Structure 1
Amino acid sequence: MSDGVSPTAATGDIVQPATPPRRRSLNPRHLICLAVAAVLAAYQMVPSTDLAFVPFSLAYIYFLSAFAFPPLRSADNSRVFDLRNRLLGPYISFAAILGLLLPLLHILDCASGGDKGGAAAAAPHLFLLCIQVFFEGFTFSRGFSLPMFAFVPILYNSKRLVTIFWWVASEFERAEGGRRMVAGRALAVANSILWAYNLFGFLLPVYLPRVLKRYYSGSK
């Protein structure tokens, strides 16, 4: 991720944008997530409001990058947290399994069994999380500032909580029983707990303050 520092930022002076940063290639996992999101959209499993949210969020990312958090001349490529951290690494892996892999397998299982309701309930969350992962890679590879890199998971986590709560409600309103219904309910509840904690327990109180401190003061 690209994060910048400027001695003038803390005093309220105008921040001079950086020269265009060197661009990096997207990681294969970002492209895979984009492909999964495209398939979900192609099979009409995603509401139009969630589809429309994607171009809106991209436009807003560019707007904020231009007028609120531009890359700075003294920007570096250091991260706020080391991904090799013994707690952060397993947490990211657990979130990927619970938020991406298991919902994908659940949707495929429901689709193969003719359970369109179960697949449709889980699809919006998976679609938005795949787009989130892609945009995280996009903002990093295109050299956006560190606050913009942090803005993507905060924005999409907030949006996905709405779809997850709808997913939970849909699962518990279903009358039919069976293994798929139990799996759907368990996944929906587990994801609601995980991503509510991720937003209100980590991103907002822990990650965002450190990002802004790094951006404005340059402290490492």
Structure 2
Amino acid sequence: MSEPNSDRRNGILTFQQLNSLALIIVLSASGMVAIEDFAFVVLSYFYIYFLSKFAFPTLSTSSENSVFGHNRMLSLYCFSGAFIGLFLPVAYIFQGIYEGDKEGIKAATPHVFLLASQLFLEGVAWSDRFSLPMRVLVPVVYNSTRIFTLMEWVRNEVTKGEEEFHGSGRRLFMGRVLAVANLLYWVFNLFGFLLPFYLPKAFKRYYTDGGKNVRD
């Protein structure tokens, strides 16, 4: 998502990170996570670390802390993303285990795994070892990748009625609504918020601060 906290941290895991890490471990241990998704998460960390060292090093200024500051509307927007994108899909997965909807679980898992990994890595990027551009690139990269998993989830839910399905009709309806709602939310988040607003503001703040440091 974006700006989970406007205060830089010294490496201590937050409650959100611990929950995300627990979910990552559970999904990974279940065998429902594709090897390419797991590899993407591992490689993305090393790539972001590489960029933080050679392309966007940390600036010694406190103005890197935040782009929008303490914004109540932004906090509500981020919470709605966590509710739609994480809490409800996790409930959908566990309910699918009860009803035996293996295809529904399989289709929703990649999105949940990548979003949990994104939240964990966002927390890492908010430490004092990473610059502002790194904290922006994490949600942009992960959001872009999850668009494809969401499209596959929607496709799976739409065609599920044409296949053998052992779950309830209510689950079939809720699965379609949830998949479409997530696709719409995260498409807007990427193309309506991250790329046109968050990314330019963050880079402007970073290079403005860099110019001040050079003059000083």
> Which bin holds the TM-score, normalised by the shorter protein?
0.7 to 0.9
The answer to whether residue 147 in structure 2 is matched with residue 147 in structure 1 is: no
Matched with 2:29 is 42
Question: Equivalent of 2:144, from 158, 162, 174?
Answer: 158
Asked if the contact 1:107–1:119 (Cα under 8 Å) also holds between the matched residues in 2, the reply is yes
The answer to whether residue 201 in structure 2 is matched with residue 215 in structure 1 is: no
Asked if the contact 1:118–1:180 (Cα under 8 Å) also holds between the matched residues in 2, the reply is no
Output the CA distance in 2 between the equivalents of 1:127 and 1:22. 24
Which aligned pairs between 1:113-124 and structure 2 lie closer than 5 A?
113-124=99-110
Matched with 2:189 is 198
Deviation track 1:82-136 (CA, whole Å, cap 9, x = no partner) reads 24x2321211111111001000000000011111111111110000000000000
Matched with 2:54 is 67
Matched with 1:18 is none
Asked if the contact 2:64–2:206 (Cα under 8 Å) also holds between the matched residues in 1, the reply is no
Q: How much does 1:22 deviate?
A: 7.2
AA aligned opposite 1:80: V
Output the CA distance in 1 between the equivalents of 2:64 and 2:190. 24
Uncovered stretches (5+) of structure 1, i.e. residues with no partner:
4-20
The answer to whether residue 132 in structure 2 is matched with residue 132 in structure 1 is: no
Which aligned pairs between 1:22-61 and structure 2 lie closer than 5 A?
23-61=10-48
Relative contact order higher in (CA < 8 Å, ≥ 6 apart): 1
Q: How much does 1:41 deviate?
A: 1.1
Q: How much does 1:168 deviate?
A: 0.4
Matched with 1:167 is 153
TM-score of the superposed pair, with normalisation by structure 1: 0.86
Output the CA distance in 2 between the equivalents of 1:22 and 1:102. 29
Output the CA distance in 1 between the equivalents of 2:130 and 2:61. 13
Question: Equivalent of 2:74, from 82, 85, 88?
Answer: 88
State percent identity of aligned pairs.
Answer: 47
Output the CA distance in 2 between the equivalents of 1:112 and 1:32. 22
Matched with 2:214 is none
For residue 141 of structure 1, give the secondary structure of its aligned residue in structure 2.
coil
Matched with 2:86 is 100
Output the CA distance in 2 between the equivalents of 1:82 and 1:92. 14
Deviation track 1:36-66 (CA, whole Å, cap 9, x = no partner) reads 0111111011111111101110111011111
AA aligned opposite 2:103: G
Uncovered stretches (5+) of structure 2, i.e. residues with no partner:
212-216
Deviation track 1:144-188 (CA, whole Å, cap 9, x = no partner) reads 000001110000000100100010011111123611111111010
Output the CA distance in 1 between the equivalents of 2:49 and 2:72. 34
Asked if the contact 2:65–2:132 (Cα under 8 Å) also holds between the matched residues in 1, the reply is no
Aligned residues: 201
Q: How much does 1:141 deviate?
A: 2.2
For residue 217 of structure 1, give the secondary structure of its aligned residue in structure 2.
helix
